[in-house]
């Protein structure tokens, strides 16, 4: 079926890198194909359109990510005892790390991409993810519920998204932050260290006592 495996992947690689540090609209097909060293028309031939290319880039990443996430979640799901919030959050670390150094490019290419996608085009990507990867989100949510059974569903929902925001945002801008930190504190931190720094913050926030007031007249 596929004679040359390369072209399609060359395009995906180039697109992923360029999207990450320029944005979607700011990256032209000509730039992509030039970097991939393929003909301009190939992207339309192989993917149909630029929009489909973007989706393809995401799919390739997310499939790799959820495969790793699945492996991490399974033992927690199988266990009889309820996991801690930290344990649940920790399922994200290894998959993120793997995704990070699978790409050759210096640092977390893809997180920038995710951050962009989330900000871009009125939540179009948020919807895409929630449709295509709803099952994994449900499993993750379920684990969190076991870890913190006293939180209401509504509160869970919000805090899950708070955490999601923090992770994506931090990882998306992590090189910039790392540079500043390196300059100001003479500490050089790896992605893993950033994640380990992030988890206690998230876990504590997630477990925080919900608002007591707001309408404390009762």
Partner DNA sequence: GTATGTTTCAAACAGTTGTTTAGATTTTGT
Partner DNA sequence: ACAAAATCTAAACAACTGTTTGAAACATAC
In the complex, the residues that contact a copy of itself under the rule CB under 8 A are 21-23, 25-26, 112, 115-116, 118-123, 126, 153-155, 157-159, 161-162, 164-166, 168-170, 172-173, 176-177, 180-181, 184-185, 187, 193-194, 196-211, 214
Contact between 9 and DNA by CB under 7 A: the answer reads no
**H-state helical runs in the chain:** 6-22, 29-36, 42-47, 50-78, 85-90, 93-102, 109-119, 124-132, 134-147, 153-172, 174-185, 191-207
CB of 191 to a copy of itself, least distance (A): 13
Work out whether 13 is an interface residue with DNA (CB under 7 A).
no
22 touches DNA by CB under 7 A: no
Which residue reads 């801008």 in tokens? 173
User: Per rule CB under 7 A, is residue 55 in the interface with DNA?
Assistant: no
Residue 48 CB-half CA count within 13 A? 6
Closest by CA position to 36, among listed 52, 51, 53: 53
Q: Say if CB 15 and CB 24 are below 8 A apart.
A: no
Q: Min. distance of Cβ 214 from a copy of itself in angstroms?
A: 6
Q: Which is nearer to a copy of itself, 62 or 111 (CB)?
A: 111
Which tokens go with 217? 């007249």
Q: Which does 177 bind (CB under 5 to 8 A by kind): a copy of itself, DNA, none?
A: a copy of itself
Give the residue with the Cβ less far from a copy of itself, 96 or 202: 202
Verify binding: residue 31, DNA, rule CB under 7 A.
yes
User: Is the Cβ–Cβ distance between 148 and 202 less than 8 Å?
Assistant: no
| Span interacting with DNA, options 38-46, 68-76, 125-133, 187-195, rule CB under 7 A | 38-46
């Amino acid at each position: 079926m596929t004679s040359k495996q390369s072209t399609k992947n060359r395009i995906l690689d180039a697109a992923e890198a360029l999207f990450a540090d320029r944005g979607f609209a700011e990256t032209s097909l000509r730039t992509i194909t030039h970097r991939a060293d393929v003909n301009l028309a190939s992207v339309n031939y192989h993917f149909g359109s630029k929009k489909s290319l973007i989706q393809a880039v995401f799919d390739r990443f997310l499939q790799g990510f959820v495969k790793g996430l699945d492996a991490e979640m399974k033992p927690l799901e199988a266990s009889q005892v309820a996991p801690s919030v930290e344990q649940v959050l920790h399922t994200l670390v290894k998959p993120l790390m793997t995704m990070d150094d699978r790409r050759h490019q210096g640092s977390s290419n893809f997180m920038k991409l995710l951050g962009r996608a989330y900000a871009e085009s009125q939540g179009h990507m948020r919807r895409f993810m929630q449709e295509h990867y709803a099952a994994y989100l449900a499993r993750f949510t379920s684990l969190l519920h076991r870890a913190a059974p006293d939180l209401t569903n509504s509160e869970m929902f919000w805090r899950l998204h708070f955490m999601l925001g923090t992770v994506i945002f931090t990882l998306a801008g992590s090189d910039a932050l790392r540079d500043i930190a390196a300059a100001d504190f003479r500490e050089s931190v790896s992605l893993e260290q950033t994640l380990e720094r992030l988890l206690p913050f998230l876990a504590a926030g997630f477990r925080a006592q919900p608002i007591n007031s707001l309408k404390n007249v009762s």
